[in-house]
Amino acid sequence: MKRLFPIILLLYVFVHFSSCEKDDICVEGDTPLLVIGFFDFADTTLEKNATTLRIRELNSEEPIDGNLEPEDKDIKMHFDRSTTDSTGIPIRISESTTAFQFILNSSDGESEDGESTIETGNIDTLSFNYMVRENFISRACGFVANFDDLSADLSFDSENWIQDIKVVDTTIENSTAIHVKIFH
Amino acid sequence: MLRYFISLFLTLMTTMVLAQEALPQKDTISGKYSYGLRLGVDLSRPTLSFFKDNYTGLELVGDFRVTERWWLAVELGNEERKQEETTGAFPLYTYTASGSYLKVGGDYNTYTNWFGMRNQIHIGGRYAFSTFSQTLENFRFFDSNRFFSPNEFVLGSEASQEFSGLNASWLEFVVGMKAEIFKNMYVGISARLGHLVTNTEEDNFKNLWIPGFNKVTENAKWGVGYNYTLSYFLPLYKKVKKDEKAVESGPK
């Protein structure tokens, strides 16, 4: 029986290792954010802050706010009413277009009857069109969405703060570089 | 057990008797070894098939005695396994791996039996090859940003997508034992550690589970497996024990 002991021990070790689930947590990849950079319209190489910027989806009252995301997250989406020269926003995977309202100098004002709050900032509407492509990352992550053929459309109104837009990268595979430049 | 003590005692008696003679004699402990083919089936795979909805499998095993301690060993199997991957409580994707495998190699019996016993504690190696397919049943897009879809991941597709013609090969280290429970009837247990040699994959889906190899772990080429076998030994011919030693006995 003594001779069997090492065999049983070895079997135990095998079973032990086979039940170890090393790759249970997704760290290898993620669905990227659309990264927008703000530049000076006069000198297009110069970064220019967008002040107290609020971004929300068209026909939605809920602003995009990175404060709502977990604290340990590496890349967070746009912080509501922050002043920045580049920021990231999520786009809808279930659709091939997502429209946003970019609100410069966003703040709450009172409506004329004083009963509700209204947005006093300059609202410009931008819509992004793209193709969703699935990209297999790993066992733990499964598939993430990447986006191809990105294009952007600006709706013109009487007082656009956005002067021009340029898609610099039509493929969105990560959130580290600017995909769209906004000139103002 | 008693039987073996008696036989051992008797054989020792014989040498004692022989020691009385003047002529040098050969040790008569040596007997004849049965050579032949042992065929069997793995019991764990049908058992798992019965109790688990997501798995069906069968493995046939065979080994042939080549020398006193070496056996030529083969395993042939077919497995199908469905698996849903999740992150926490959120489903990510479901896939089915299905295919056949063949393992060829050898086992070396390290166990020195008492007279009349035919048990084995063996170590060995295999070269294994599997052809299989993977079917992606459905998937959702992993996205750590929960703004647009706070409660679940966005569904990508529920149409099943087959990745066929996949294959993989690996080297396997085997350790196990076989015990004769009735005459020529053996139960066996073995554990296997595999190391992938080749693995052909599709661009947009990895080989996550290979029949015969089991789970393919991320950034590692190791796989583990086991079997519990029931097999029957078919004696074909007998050979006299090879390492017979001439025993010098008696005064010169």
**String of b and e for B74-105 (b: at least 16 CB within 10 Å)?**
ebebbbbbbbebebeeebbbbbbbbbebbbeb
Q: How many residues are given for chain A? A: 184
Using pLDDT thresholds of 50, 70 and 90, give the confidence band for residue B198: very high
The label of the residue with tokens 């066996």 reads B188
Query: Mean pLDDT throughout B139-160?
Result: 93
Which residues on chain B place their C-beta less than 8 Å from a C-beta of chain A?
Answer: 85, 87, 92-93, 111, 121, 139-149, 154-157, 175-177, 189, 191-193, 204-206, 208, 214-215, 217-218, 220, 224-226
The 10s digit of each residue's pLDDT in A92-121 is 999 999 999 999 999 988 877 777 788 889
Mean pLDDT score, B230-242? 87
Give the per-residue pLDDT at A154: 93
Q: What is the mean pLDDT of residues B182-208?
A: 93
Angle at B205 between CA B89 and CA A72, to 5 degrees: 45
Residues A183 and A38: their CA atoms lie apart, in Å, by 6
pLDDT band at B70 (very low <50, low <70, confident <90, very high): very high
Q: How confident is the model at residue B61 (pLDDT cuts 50, 70, 90)?
A: very high
**What is the Cα–Cα distance from B178 to B123, expressed in whole angstroms?**
11
Q: What is the pLDDT of residue A69?
A: 87
Q: Residue A31: which of B143, B218, B224 has the nearest Cβ?
A: B143
Whether residue B219 has pLDDT greater than 90: no
Structure-model confidence comparison of residues A72 and B145, the more confident one: B145
Confidence of residue A26 (pLDDT cuts 50, 70, 90): confident
pLDDT value for B252: 39
Predicted pLDDT at A9: 65
B142/A69 touch (CB, cutoff 8 Å), yes or no: no
Window 85-104 of A, Cβ < 8 Å to B: 90, 92-94
Average pLDDT of B90-118? 93
* B239 pLDDT tier (thresholds 50, 70, 90): confident
Name which residue leads in pLDDT, B240 or A64. A64
Write down the ipTM of this complex: 0.85
Share of chain A above pLDDT 70, in %: 88
Q: Average pLDDT, whole number, for chain A?
A: 88
Cα–Cα nearest to B40, from B57, B64, B62, B58 = B62
The reported pTM is 0.79
Whether residue A33 is predicted with pLDDT greater than 60 in this model: the reply is yes
In this structure, of A45-54, A106-115, B188-197, the range with the lowest mean pLDDT score is A106-115
* pLDDT value of residue A113: 77
Using pLDDT thresholds of 50, 70 and 90, give the confidence band for residue B32: confident
A1 touches chain B (CB under 8 A): no
- Cα nearest neighbour of A92 on chain B: B148
Contact (CB, 8 A) for B209 and B168: no
Using CB atoms within 10 A of its CB, is residue B188 exposed (0-12), middle (13-18) or buried (19+)? buried
The pLDDT, as a whole number, for residue A6 is: 63
- pLDDT beyond 50 at B244: no
- The 10s digit of each residue's pLDDT in B78-87 is 999 999 999 8
| CA atoms of B250 and A117, how far apart (whole Å) | 117
> Which residues of B fall within a CB distance of 8 Å from A77?
145, 147
The DSSP code sequence of B12-75 is: HHHHHHHHTSSS-EE-TT--EEEEEEEEEEESHHHHHHHH-TTEEEEEEEEEEE-SSSEEEEEE
Q: Which of A92, A136, A140 sits opposite B204 (nearest CB)?
A: A136
Paired tokens of B63: 């080994």
Q: Tell me whether strands A34-39 and A180-183 are parallel, antiparallel or unpaired.
A: parallel
Q: What is the mean pLDDT of chain B?
A: 86
Q: Is A133 on the interface with B (CB under 8 A)?
A: no
pLDDT at position A8 = 67
Does the pLDDT at position A84 exceed 70?
Answer: yes
**Mean of pLDDT values over B175-182:** 94
Mean pLDDT of B2-29: 46
Question: Quick one: pLDDT band at residue A14, thresholds 50, 70, 90?
Answer: low
Q: B121 contacts in A (CB within 8 Å)?
A: 3-4, 7
Confidence of residue B12 (pLDDT cuts 50, 70, 90): very low
